[in-house]
Structure formats: structure tokens, C-alpha cells
Chains A and B, each alone.
Chain A
Amino acid sequence: MGDKNKDDTSLNPKQRSRREFLENVGSTAAVASAVPVLGISSVQAQSDTEIAASKTTIQLIVNGDSHLVEVEDRWTLVEVLRDQLDLTGTKIGCDRSECGACTVIMNGKPVYSCSQLAVWTDGAQITTVEGLASGGQLSPVQQAFVENNGPQCGFCTPGQLMTATALLRNNSTPNAREVKEALVGNLCRCSNYNAIVEAVVMAGERSGGAA
């Protein structure tokens, strides 16, 4: 298929490769996004009713480190973690409280970081997946995920690890049913749930909760 399409620039979709098609879509999208960016600023300059983005300086204590960050009021916590603090281990999946990929531990409890405005979390203590391993040693739940093939594509893994870590802090040796209840808000599109549950149960049995 690749050879056949290599020199074929026909617009007939049946004769175009998937790669070529996606490349074209990509460049179209780039052009399309560039235009509104230029357009918006001039529109905003002309409009009296458009609200300028309000900004607030907040303090976040992330994995033990204190950060003062100036945030736009509309930025979510996960956007600040990823884009301002460069902690890209926390993933944005659905961005609407449904998938759990963005789960972090905030003040001791797992929460969706896509569903907190950063300005609502001023002063919060936050643990992200980057804060689990220490001194080059994986945490017990991370180690158990490795041994049980907990990650498949891996995109949901940081969120699964954070929810599991919060569970193990409260219930040092959960059984499978308790793990399923705790992880109900973390979806795995690879459907690797059995391995994930087994990993969390193993982490509890092995460490007695020192997650």
C-alpha cells in the first residue's frame, strides 16, 4: 500500500494513504488554529464587553515543594501542574470528571485535577505521580503495577496509581472488592482492570499499607 501511494498525489481518497491524509489534516488544523489566535486579540481590543482574563497568585505545595504561581482564574489545576510546573505525569483524558486520568491526591484525598480551578486550590498539599517514587525506588504500588502488567497503553496509569495510593493509606490491606470500589472513578480504555486490581491487592499484602 505504501509503495502504491508513494508518488500518487491524486485527490481520490481511495488512492491516498492514511499517513498522507493525516499529515494534510494536521497542517490544515495548524493553519485553522493560527487564524483565530490572531483574530481574537483584535476582536478583544475592540470589544468593551469582553472580560479580560483575571489572574491570581496562588501557592501550591506539590510533592513537598512550595510554588507561587500566577494563574488565570479559568485555568484548571491539571493545566497548572502540566503547563506551569512541568509535571506532565498527570494526564488529561476526558477533561470532564469522567475518566480519572488526571487524579492527584489533594490534602490527603484523591480528586480530579481537571475539575478544580487552580484558584480554588490555593494552599493545597498535592501529590502527583512524580511524587510516588523516592530515592530511585518505586513505591510498592508502582512496583506491583510493573509486576502485574498494570499499564497497557499506560495513559490511565498515573491516575490509577494515585487513587490506589490514597486507598492504601486508609486501608492498608484492601481486598479485591474494596479496590474495585475505590477505583471505580478511574477508567482504563485497554480494559486491563483485572491486572490493576491484582496489583493493588498485591501492593497492600506486600507492604502492609506503606504505600
Chain B
Amino acid sequence: MKAFTNINVSSVDEAVSAAAQAHNNGQSVAFSSGGTDLLQQLKDGTDKSDVIINLRNVEGAHEISSANGTIRIGGLITLDELSNSDLNDVLTEAAASVGTPQIRNVATLSGNVTQRPWCWYYRNSFNCYKAGGNECFSVTGENQQHAIYGGGPSYIVHPSDVAPALVALDASFIVAGPDGERNVSADNFFVMPSQDPATENSLRSDELLVGVSLPITSASSISHYYKIMDREAWTHAEVSVAAVLNMNGDLVESASIVLGGVATVPWKLTEVENYLVGRQLILQWSAWQARWLS
């Protein structure tokens, strides 16, 4: 592994100023929360950062709190903590579907949402758009797990399970940087390759995702995350769906349906959502769950 300097910080402000200082010294910076995937990229040489800013000891960034009709989830909450929380089923199920227990015990919400793509060309050091190059090798290459929707000129699929669940819950993304915090809508957080093929989100190099904010859902809301993999466990989605339905009796008042694993960003199915509104839904959750979730 290349040599780098690790900086342990205990607050977001410290992290932001450490990044600014490193940038002033001409050094490249990576923020690390769980660090599971970042460390792999450092070993593989697909991430060449000079300075790693370790966020594991940042205080107050793991918590779930609610105020003024919104829930704030700290970005450093681990996927294990998230999957055992009493948040919406779609979110706990999405977190529980990631990786293995050993990964979920350290990997975080922020890290899962901002992880780099798992395209086999990018991960094997091809000089593609994601690595700063000028080509997507999947176009004429092995592309059976590449984007069906939202592709061009890069055809990666967004790798996160947590992100489709957050988008389905109408989350906004809390970004911290030199100018403090700002809330970014999903539409403005996730970036299509047609906007910028080198990145998957609008974070600048001196910014980090410190949490998400969710509107509190009504008691009549039901939600689930359903993930199809090419084996039973421990991999990314071939396709996944995050579904949130607000019900009035057995009538759908509003629906939010977001796909993972098939598009360059979490992919909202607006036509399906509109189709569902006002329709009667006969919910047979016990039968459905027995078939799909057990």
C-alpha cells in the first residue's frame, strides 16, 4: 500500500479544516468513516489519497434525533445500528441487506451512500471516466451488470442499498464544508454521468456527508426494501426496489418507488408512483413476506 498520513479528528469542523490544510499543501484527501471500502481502494491503488481523515471518533454523528417534523440521522451511524433501529422498514431492511455482519459493524450510512461504483473496469484500474479517463469500457465490453437507466457516457450502477431507501423516504442530504452545513435534495445530491461522468454525487473535495434528514412518515405509511442478488447473500443488488406507500384504508394516497442496482443514480419510477395513487391495494403482507422476505 502507498504511504499516506492518517489524521484522527473528533469533530466535523476539525475534519473540514484538516482537509482544507491538506488541500493547501497540494495533497489529495479522502474522508473515512467505516473505511472498509476506502482501505480496499487504497490497497488496490484506485484511490491515491495522500491524507486520510478518519471520522470514527467524531462525536455526535451517530445519533438519530427528531425535531420540527423531521428525523435527523447522523451519517456515522453504522449499518448494524441502522438495521436495528426503529426507523422505517425500508431503511432498516436496506441496511441489513448490505455485505456481511463484519462489514455492517463498521460501515456507515454516509460511507454506503457515497461509496464509489463497483464496476469491474473501474475497480480493476481501467482508466475510465470514474478514474479520470475519457472512456467507459462497459460500452463495448462486459456490461451485464451495468446501467439500464440513466447511462451515458458512463454506465456504472449506483452501488448503494441505503440510497434508494433514503430517496424513497424523501430524504435530504446534510453536507458539511468550509461554509458550514447545507441541506441538499436527492435530485441535487446524486449526479447523472451526463452532468459529470467522474463522480456520483455533488460533494466537493472539501465537503462530506454528515447525515440525512427525513420527513416523519405517517402511521399509515408502509415500506419495504426488496433486493435480488445473484447469490443469497453478501453482494450488491442485481435489482432492488425501495417502496413507500402512504395508505388511507386500502387506498394508496401517495407512493414512492425507487430502484437500486440498475441505474447510475437511485432511480425513481414516477409513472408507477402516479399509477398507484388512488388505487385500492389489497395487502396480504403475511403471504408476501413469507414468499419474498423469509
Choose, from A2-10, A96-104, A196-204, the stretch at the interface.
A96-104
Which B residues touch A54, using CB under 8 A?
3-6
Interchain CA distance A54-B50 in the complex, whole Å: 11
CB-nearest residue of chain B relative to A109?
Answer: B105
Check: B64 CB closer than 8 A to any chain A CB. Answer: no
- Which B residues are in CB contact (< 8 Å) with A51? 2-5, 50
* Chain A residues, Cβ within 8 Å of B39: 76, 115-117
B interface size (C-beta, 8 A): 29
Q: Are B6 and A73 in contact (CB under 8 A)?
A: yes
A103 to B106, CA, bound (A): 13
| Docked-complex contact A96 and B6, CB < 8 angstroms | no
- Interface: B80 (CB within 8 A): yes
Which residue from A56, A73, A76, A110 sits with its C-beta under 8 Å from B102?
A110
Q: Which residues of A contact B101 (CB under 8 A)?
A: 110, 163, 182, 184-185
Q: Which residue of B lies closest to A167 (CB)?
A: B101
A74: contacting residue among B4, B37, B99, B103, CB under 8 A:
B4
B101 nearest CB across to chain A (Å): 6
- The DSSP consensus for interface residues of chain B is mixed
Given the complex, which residues of A lie within 8 Å of B54, measured CB to CB?
117, 119-120
Q: Mark A175-211, 1 if CB is under 8 A from B, else 0.
A: 0000000101100000000000000000000000000
In the complex, A77 Cα to B284 Cα: how many Å? 48
Q: Is the CB of A163 within 8 A of B52?
A: no
State the interface size on chain A (CB cutoff 8 A).
Answer: 30
Chain B, Cβ-Cβ closest to A115: B36
Query: A111 interface residue, CB < 8 Å from B?
Result: yes
Q: Which of B37-53 contact A (CB under 8 A)?
A: 37, 39-40, 42-43, 50, 52
Contact with A along B52-88 (1 / 0, CB 8 A): 1010100000000000000000000000100000000
Q: List 25 A-B contacts (CB under 8 A).
A: A52-B3, A53-B3, A54-B5, A54-B6, A73-B52, A74-B2, A96-B43, A97-B36, A97-B37, A97-B40, A97-B103, A100-B100, A109-B80, A109-B105, A111-B106, A112-B102, A115-B106, A117-B52, A117-B54, A120-B8, A120-B54, A122-B8, A182-B101, A185-B102, A185-B234
Contacts from A to B (Cβ < 8 Å): 50-54, 56, 72-74, 76, 95-97, 100, 103, 106, 109-112, 115-117, 119-120, 122, 163, 182, 184-185
CB-CB nearest 9 A-B residue pairs: A185-B100, A73-B6, A54-B5, A109-B105, A53-B3, A184-B233, A119-B6, A185-B102, A74-B1
